[in-house]
Amino acid sequence: MQLHGIEYKVLLEDLAPHVRAQRAENLSSKAKQRTHRIDVFAAFYNHSEINAYMESLVQLYPKRVQLKTFGWSYEQRALKILTISNGDGRRNKPVIFIDATIHAREWIAPSFALYIIQQLLEQAENADLLLNYDWVIMPVVNADGYEFTHSDSRFWRKTRKPTPIEEHIGTDINRNFGYKWGDDAGSSGDPAEEIYRGEQPFDQPETQVLRDALLHYKDRLAFYLSLHSYGNYLLLPWGHTSSFPDNYFYMMEIADAGAMAIIQSTNGIYSYGSGYHLMYPTSGDSNDFAVALANATVAITMELPAGGFLGFDPWVTHIEGIVTESWVGVRAMALEVISRGYQ
């Protein structure tokens, strides 16, 4: 940069002490817990801890909770999906489907998914959200990458499946879906890139699992919500083009309900609209697939608030503020979907 006359400022000489301090904080906080119930505010949990917690919910709420392994990651981790109902036994209700951790380093996303689970199961005030709708939640899509961020590289983004170039591992799941896959304007064919799309659509087992789960609910998918971080955005389809889906303005009204609820509650400001226009082009992403091929009436990618040094790394002390604020928005969006009826 000096050679080319580019001005710059060093913000941190070495990121490693920061990462080590955060790991120590997280482990210390978990060590203090004396219950099998996950305390969302107290720590970030790894994949096996999250799966064990969901398994415990089946025992605690046998009439309201179902847990299914939809498939396995490249490194053979069970990819589990939790279904929450009100226990009335009615079948084939419309579905609100939430996933998280498509990108491995975004630790606040699975924390928020766990908080949503607890809100639906433990808080009577949310019974209206389950009266005529089931909630289907997948807290960790990219299990291998997520585990790698806990054990090795904190800011890893992709999966852990090898690519044709030996020194480059992993694919960006959110460029690997089969709808409009392969556009260089919204992804990359280079395995060295963070937005590498894979050799072909759905060549990642994790993408296959999420695809199959969404298609399983194709006839009753009212609302698809994908949790990411960071940026305070509610991103709508399309990602691959500047044009809009037919019901774009309906989806904008749902996003508006969430953004307005948050600003009224905490003064937190979310931008909302087409992902293509608000951020950048993305091809082969889950949002576009959900609308185009899984018949989702509403599809939104929620980019949660930033935390920590790089935005992807909030401290444990940040969790409560982020997830409680975000729940205000998700609850408002869900209520708006429910009030309008499944279309």
Q: Pairing relation of β-strands 78-84 and 65-72? A: antiparallel
Q: What is the four-CA torsion angle of 312, 317, 323, 326, rounded to 10 degrees?
A: -70
CATH number of 158's domain: 3.40.630.10
With respect to residue 4, please indicate whether it lies within any of the assigned structural domains: no
Contact 120, 325 (CB under 8 A): no
Instruction: Read off the pLDDT of residues 229-284 as tens digits, 9 standing for 90 and up.
Output: 999 999 999 999 999 999 999 999 999 999 999 999 999 999 999 999 999 999 99
Sequence-distant (6+) residues with CB within 8 A of 335 are: 128, 129, 257
Please indicate, yes or no, if residue 47 is contained in any of the structural domains. Answer: yes
State how many domains the chain has.
1
Which phi and psi angles does 229 have, rounded to 5°?
A: -150, 145
CA distance 244 to 44: 37
121 to 57, 87, 138, 238, 267: CA distances (angstroms): 9, 11, 15, 33, 27
Contacts of 41-49 with CB under 8 Å at 24 or more apart are 41/316, 41/319, 41/320, 41/323, 42/316, 42/319, 43/316, 44/107, 44/110, 44/111, 44/316, 44/319, 45/110, 45/111, 45/114, 46/146, 46/147, 46/150, 47/77, 47/140, 47/143, 47/146, 47/147
- For residue 212, give its domain range: 16-340
pLDDT tens per residue across span 218-231: 999 999 999 999 99
**All residues at 6 or more sequence positions from 196 whose CB lies less than 8 Å from its CB, including other chains:** 158, 163, 168, 170, 171, 172, 175, 187, 188, 189, 190
For residue 199, tell me if it sits in a domain: yes
Assessment of whether the complete model's pTM goes beyond 0.85: yes
**Does residue 133 lie in a domain region?**
yes
> Is there a domain that residue 31 lies in?
yes
Tell me whether residue 1 is in a domain. no
Residues 83-114 pLDDT 10s: 999 999 999 999 999 999 999 999 999 999 99
Domain presence at residue 8: no
Known catalytic residues are: 303
